[in-house]
Chains A and B, each alone.
Chain A
Amino acid sequence: MSRARFIVPLVVFALLVVVLAIGIEQSPDKDLIPSPLIGKPAPEFSLPSLTDPGQRVSSTQLRGHWYLFNVWGTWCVSCREEQAMLLKIKQSGIIPVVGLDWKDDRDDALSYLKAAGNPYQTVAVDQDGSEAIMWGVYGAPETFLVSPQGIVVDKVIGPITEQAWERQILPRLSVSAAPATAARS
């Protein structure tokens, strides 16, 4: 009995340490705020195209096939880091990338894509930042994986890494879009 009196607080303390350690480990890091949009329909939009301002890029045009919706801007340093990966994804031909040029200067964006390579199928322009809010964007780059039915299946916050591509994006596609994956080989 007298031993238990020492052991009980010790065990409670140890449990508390574990709980707090997990809490600190998973503390609301900017990178770890899950999007409530996952599993829900992607926001409907119709925005001017970056390359051809007379044209519009709309969610209805994109219905029927998988796409990545990549939020970027020339002012965003991490987006430049992500550029190589996006070009690789374009080259693979597995899934098209649709860009959202977020609060950017049109000329800057165009000359950047010309110089660094354009990984996008189309780029929609979000001049005043209101479209980004529709998607719950709070930083760039952010990338949404949208299904042919227009459902947001996953979201990558920060640059798409090889790991994110292989673990978050590819598995989703091979289950529901086998023909696209097969086309690569």
Chain B
Amino acid sequence: MAARPYSVVIAALIGALLLCASLWATRAYAIAPEQMPTPQLEARYLALINGFRCMQCQDESLADSPVNLAADMRRQIRDMLLAGKTDRQIRDFMVSRYGYFILFKPPFVLKTAWLWLTPGVLLLIGVIVAVRVIRQRATLVATDVEDNDLTDA
């Protein structure tokens, strides 16, 4: 008798999990139901819209954003793909109008150099500091031992 409430709870939990999973799955397709004529174009289309930022909601990609502007921009990308434009041409088209800000992965150019170089510079500083600290510690231990020897003597 006592086991029954538990099994109900577990069943409910599993049900809730499945429901969440199904909601998750439908969510992924709810915003981008647009179909491309060939799987190759479809793959390029998906890669492109996942790489552009929605300019109105900024932390979402064009693929994820439900706003009208994102839908218009997806349509623009679709039209360009169907017109035979290359990924490069489409990316240049967007960047020339919205700036590098629209790319989730900005290119390495003079303007964005600091963005890519800063982590390396910080890492280098960290390594230099670490090496210095370790070396100092090493010499400290040696002198400590000497000091101890001296006081002992």
Contacts and interface: CB of A to CB of B under 8 A. Distances in A.
Contact of B98 (A30, A103, A130, A138): A138
Interface string A27-68: 010100111110010000000000000000000000000000
Interface of A: 28, 30, 33-37, 40, 103, 128-130, 132-136, 138-139
B68 to A, nearest CB: 7
B69 interface: yes
Interface of B: 55-56, 58, 68-69, 72-73, 75-76, 95-99, 101
A36 B55 contact: no
Nearest to A128: B72
Contacts of B97: 36-37, 133-136
Q: Is the interface of B mostly helix, strand, loop or mixed?
A: helix
Given A33-B99, A36-B95, A133 B58 contact: no
A134 B98 CA distance: 9
A138 B99 CA distance: 12
Nearest to A30: B58
Contacts of A133: 72-73, 76, 97
Contacts of A139: 55-56
Contact of B68 (A34, A103, A136): A103
Contacts of B55: 33, 138-139
27 contacts: A28-B58, A30-B56, A33-B98, A33-B99, A33-B101, A35-B99, A36-B95, A36-B96, A36-B97, A36-B99, A37-B96, A103-B68, A129-B69, A129-B72, A130-B72, A130-B75, A132-B69, A132-B72, A133-B73, A133-B97, A135-B97, A136-B98, A138-B55, A138-B69, A138-B98, A139-B55, A139-B56
Contacts of A35: 99
A28 B68 contact: no
A35 B97 CA distance: 7
Nearest to B101: A33
